[in-house]
Structure 1
């Protein structure tokens, strides 16, 4: 049994047993389409488009040995640059790493307080990020460690779990550090999963505006929680909403203590140093590096100053909180004695999981945004999935040394960049400073005032607030998104940060869906555009305006613009239809289930309003008419054209789902009834996705409809052809061989040489003639189009000046209504519409002649003579083009 017989038997069984007709899709496919196409393009190669298959899709997914090796190598970007490491890089990295080490010590200790932990946990966390990032990271400028927003989220989770323990919802007893460690471990595992499977693109679903609103709201929340600490106000519950905390702080301003002198002085000094250094950078550009370094270390200077002050105040008192004049950090464990293997329990994991989505989203977005910004500034590319992997490993190993959640820090990264970092290896030098601090300076850390740390935190997060100029820019870019931004900030002020981020993401998703589903396509018309060079005429030329459009000095081409003129083009320019009865429609926001109904309603309404039925509706009884169809009192659309073709510009469409394709099928059925018995052609331009082309072809689009005989009558095949890949190389080889043969025969055959020269001359003349013919053909230019209207001899001998066997059709000849561009689609539709109108006019003339003849016969023979049956255009058919 042959393969075709087996296939036929299988198709028969499928139809009988399952009820699936595998040949149903070919009912509209013309049986002689491929034959006519081959005859049209001969002797050029006729390419048949092959449809993609599911097996092919799976084969593309199958990894190869080379791709597997490449994947493993991309997991460790450091393997690419470590072998090239040199002394110059070492100098830059060591200076930058040591500088950032001194910067992040006070920040890490301060941010740990936001996480409801003691200051040393911030040092552990920053140490882990510095140690692991250089192995997996792709940015030289980023610093992974503690951040204000990340620490605030950790503190929120710690508070939430502790409240559950207090309410009896959790049976176990967990310390704050246990909760923070478990959170870091789980978040790290999720990040590693996303990084290993290269799912970093998922984060692109989170728009910028919700994140901007979240960061601003988090900054306000941080400042509201740290203000009482900076002012020395006790007894305020900072776990409540920011609005409540701010109100309670204002109510308790009379209760400020000595801490306020330390905190406010620290805050004012930090802003003063920053502004002074910024001023000096502009005034003395040649000393910019010095002032940048001083500004970067201002937090370290402030902590040293106020630690000295606190020491001088308390040096004669016992190390007891009762003797403190203002609150101090207190005793800090030396070294890594908090390091141990985390042991999360199922109960604790269950309590943490609901809080994870917001934390993971913020960790990723904050890190990727920082990495991309520095990549753009210094002209290198970061890999988001690899950055997520580096985050994951840092967060997984952070609990083992006592740390908690870490991510990229914008402030620390900016300092590192300005310090002249050369590679990610600088993190190791900052890790050295952190280790030194943990083993040598813990005794000094005892005297750091809490108010000074609170002032440092408030100073740091002030830079995270969205400035008014950015809000004004949001308003100019998208007013609706600015409203979403305000909703997010207000929600965070009165509820919590998690509610804010979830609501703003949901609102952004709704806004996106509304834009997708309610954005209308555009009906296009044709405009003749003349490109006038800027040196065409002088400004004071008195020449007539028509001189500007002279063909020899200004090129011209057709383009398509919306007919309703609701775009950026000049409304005074005249737009005309490319051909009566042809409608061009451009999809604006893709074509899928969210907007297919909107597009189809618009298409059906516009087309029926701007064309007329081929045959007027008639009913045996008026009651047969639909209840919602009042009917036309008098025909008012005689001036409108018949519907001939629909042309779709799919340049904004990549995929079409089942709903969208079915909507097109329903539209086709409605318009074919409307235009019956005349056919309607359906042309598609810029459909580049093979699966979309397959879906349209399965639905019966892409070729003339075989179920209407007039479709093939009107269709005039025309295909774009182009040189094949190796055609010119083969032609050069043939020319060399021919020249060699001529050279060998020169001495003995002068007459033959003369005849060969004459033959070459004839070939060159024929090639020149073919080139001129191809340039005049429809769609001529870089891709000549071959149609039966051309010269029989020239089309079979040459195409575009080269031997025809060197050419092939650009698109599949079995999909003649899928076009390379919109111009080709409109030309094809107009060519077939012209033939249809010529045939329709001839039939109308025949009908009119028959009616006149019948009238004359009745006048001659009398009114009682038999009446013949008139012939109408709807009853006539033309059998040949």
Structure 2
């Protein structure tokens, strides 16, 4: 079999080694994850502003396609909170919720997202996700968690409300406080309290009652199902929907339908940017989870193939009545802890959800929306980490500024502005940090061949020899900084005769930086000062040799900084040189 084909179809790799033990573990994991996903899928469809069945549809074909094309053994793909919120924000700008156009826009968004991800994967551009700083992403996800929880309060209280920003949501809740349905509020608050307790206290309580570890774990994961069953029964038996409790209502009893996204130029143009943003955020979240879980079993994932896997999953959602999906943190952890051995666990989960879509949907007719809202609120609580502000403040004020700005813009201007700001701030933060690289003046540590910062160590120096260690690659954003720094150092009234640039940390020199080095060489030459290089890495030296820079260099290139010191330092400054 061609290796190239195997790399694009990881199922051919793990499938060839699939055995009975893996089958048993995958089936157990699938049962646990299916129980968890039924209420979660319905809830995330509600969050996206779509009918509940869309959540089930988005959790069937996408999971199967990821099992074929994805490389993670434990990642569980489907609707997630942040992507569902981004979906609602994006398609809410082009269509009215509840209309056919709204559902078509969701399909189109999934189609564009899937196509973009596959394109990045084929072009091997997974590294682009590295340009998003983790503090900025953490800030965006925290702010999104707050928005998601706030958006669900209207369902908890049984009131109308709208808005995409925190002020709009709070204003909508405040203006409808007189409409609060007390029974809905009691159901919502009770479900929230139960689900929160189930996350932390149910398993220990079951263990104290004598239940086995595995059984207690399964029962804990089924906590949301228990909340769904109990509140649904309460609404049905007590006829609470007649008292104003809003329920899910009729859900089509069928497998995912074959659907077509809208391909009109206007719709594609309106949704292209949101699709790209959703793709980037979804990929970063997914690949982070996949890498974390893979490391625990000393496995590896291929980020470029993950792009193809997630892209295929989204394309599957677009043609089967779903909406954008990605790898979810909570469900993936549950899948991993339940013992999933291969992506086949996801395929079995899809089969379980398909059975639920066909046979169980009539049972959720009386399911209160407040319970689904409680499921979402409790799920996103784990996303909210306001301590990121304290951590970045203590570590780096630049990182703190980026995180705080991302959070503020997300909360006050909406998730699309927030994620756009996060991407922009991540790039600006990188440019800011590298535009002023750390450049240390170094001297020789007595009795050694090592050179260290003159401000941190007791070292030997001499007035007419200056060595600067450049601790960053040189490119257009920082080339002038080095030029100005060196000019100020040499023009400081000192009798400098030689300057050595120590390039041990320089991995690349672009053309702008080359021009700056040429300018530095020319100026120093006019001043009668020699310019030397030391510890230049092979790839950098190859680039410099391809130019005329070395031919005009007013000095030499030394293999090591110690060699430069031996050639340029005066013995009376360092007596050890006289004996060498």
TM-score (norm 2): 0.92
Give how far 1:73 is off.
2.1
Give how far 1:332 is off.
0.7
Structure 1 residues 554-594: Cα deviation after superposition (integer angstroms, max 9, x where no partner):
xx52321122x1xxx45xxx3222x5532211112222222
Which of 261, 264, 267 lines up with 1:345 in the alignment? Answer: 264
Compared with structure 1, are the counterparts of its residues 302 and 417 closer, same or farther at alpha carbon in structure 2 (3 Å cutoff)?
same
Aligned partner of residue 475 in structure 1, secondary structure: helix
Aligned partner of residue 94 in structure 2, secondary structure: helix
Aligned partner of residue 58 in structure 2, secondary structure: helix
Compared with structure 1, are the counterparts of its residues 98 and 473 closer, same or farther at alpha carbon in structure 2 (3 Å cutoff)?
same
Give how far 1:377 is off.
2.6
Give how far 1:141 is off.
1.3
Residue in 2 that maps onto 1:686: 535
Compared with structure 1, are the counterparts of its residues 97 and 341 closer, same or farther at alpha carbon in structure 2 (3 Å cutoff)?
same
Structure 1 residues 353-394: Cα deviation after superposition (integer angstroms, max 9, x where no partner):
232232122111111111112122332111111111100111
Which of 302, 327, 338 lines up with 1:408 in the alignment? Answer: 327
Distance 1:696 1:287 in 2: 70
List gaps (5 residues or longer) in structure 2. 573-580
Is contact 1:129-1:143 (8 Å) kept?
no
Residue in 2 that maps onto 1:130: 63
Give how far 1:479 is off.
2.5
Kindly indicate whether residue 471 of structure 2 is the aligned counterpart of residue 588 of structure 1. Answer: yes
Which of 546, 550, 557 lines up with 1:818 in the alignment? Answer: 557
Is contact 1:520-1:599 (8 Å) kept?
no
Which of 428, 433, 445 lines up with 1:515 in the alignment? Answer: 433
| Equivalent runs, 1:630-669 vs 2, <5 Å | 643=497, 645-669=498-522
Kindly indicate whether residue 492 of structure 2 is the aligned counterpart of residue 609 of structure 1. Answer: yes
Is contact 2:89-2:415 (8 Å) kept?
no
Aligned partner of residue 468 in structure 2, secondary structure: strand
Give how far 1:297 is off.
1.4
Is contact 1:121-1:403 (8 Å) kept?
yes
Compared with structure 1, are the counterparts of its residues 283 and 477 closer, same or farther at alpha carbon in structure 2 (3 Å cutoff)?
farther
RMSD value over aligned CA atoms? 2.7
Compared with structure 1, are the counterparts of its residues 251 and 182 closer, same or farther at alpha carbon in structure 2 (3 Å cutoff)?
closer
Distance 2:396 2:210 in 1: 38
Which of 84, 87, 90 lines up with 1:157 in the alignment? Answer: 90
Kindly indicate whether residue 425 of structure 2 is the aligned counterpart of residue 501 of structure 1. Answer: no
Distance 1:671 1:834 in 2: 24
Aligned partner of residue 510 in structure 1, secondary structure: helix
Distance 1:399 1:244 in 2: 30
Is contact 1:367-1:409 (8 Å) kept?
yes
Residue in 1 that maps onto 2:547: 698
Compared with structure 1, are the counterparts of its residues 683 and 282 closer, same or farther at alpha carbon in structure 2 (3 Å cutoff)?
farther
Residue in 2 that maps onto 1:262: 187
Q: Which has the higher helix share?
A: 2
Distance 1:659 1:697 in 2: 15
Distance 1:337 1:396 in 2: 14
Distance 1:415 1:647 in 2: 56
Residue in 2 that maps onto 1:562: 453
Distance 2:211 2:179 in 1: 48
Compared with structure 1, are the counterparts of its residues 423 and 399 closer, same or farther at alpha carbon in structure 2 (3 Å cutoff)?
same
Is contact 2:389-2:404 (8 Å) kept?
no
Aligned partner of residue 473 in structure 2, secondary structure: coil
Is contact 1:654-1:689 (8 Å) kept?
no
| Equivalent runs, 1:307-326 vs 2, <5 Å | 307-314=232-239, 323=242, 325-326=244-245
Is contact 1:210-1:501 (8 Å) kept?
no
Give how far 1:275 is off.
2.0
Which of 527, 541, 552 lines up with 2:445 in the alignment? Answer: 527
Distance 1:284 1:136 in 2: 43
Give how far 1:279 is off.
4.5
List gaps (5 residues or longer) in structure 1. 1-67, 167-172, 529-555, 613-641, 706-710, 712-816, 836-881
Is contact 1:218-1:497 (8 Å) kept?
yes
Compared with structure 1, are the counterparts of its residues 79 and 500 closer, same or farther at alpha carbon in structure 2 (3 Å cutoff)?
same
Structure 1 residues 384-414: Cα deviation after superposition (integer angstroms, max 9, x where no partner):
1111110011111212221111101111111
Residue in 1 that maps onto 2:144: 218
Residue in 1 that maps onto 2:15: 82
Structure 1 residues 12-54: Cα deviation after superposition (integer angstroms, max 9, x where no partner):
xxxxxxxxxxxxxxxxxxxxxxxxxxxxxxxxxxxxxxxxxxx
Q: Number of residue pairs matched?
A: 571
Distance 2:274 2:568 in 1: 58
Distance 1:372 1:233 in 2: 41
Distance 2:399 2:178 in 1: 41
Distance 1:418 1:479 in 2: 37
Give how far 1:343 is off.
4.7
Give how far 1:484 is off.
1.9
Is contact 1:647-1:826 (8 Å) kept?
no
Residue in 2 that maps onto 1:100: 33
Which of 459, 475, 480 lines up with 1:575 in the alignment? Answer: 459
Is contact 1:661-1:696 (8 Å) kept?
no
Give how far 1:685 is off.
2.1
Compared with structure 1, are the counterparts of its residues 285 and 211 closer, same or farther at alpha carbon in structure 2 (3 Å cutoff)?
farther
Compared with structure 1, are the counterparts of its residues 327 and 562 closer, same or farther at alpha carbon in structure 2 (3 Å cutoff)?
same
Moved more, 590-599 or 691-700: 691-700
Structure 1 residues 130-163: Cα deviation after superposition (integer angstroms, max 9, x where no partner):
2111111111111000111111111112210026
Moved more, 209-218 or 190-199: 209-218
Compared with structure 1, are the counterparts of its residues 307 and 511 closer, same or farther at alpha carbon in structure 2 (3 Å cutoff)?
same
Distance 1:278 1:341 in 2: 44
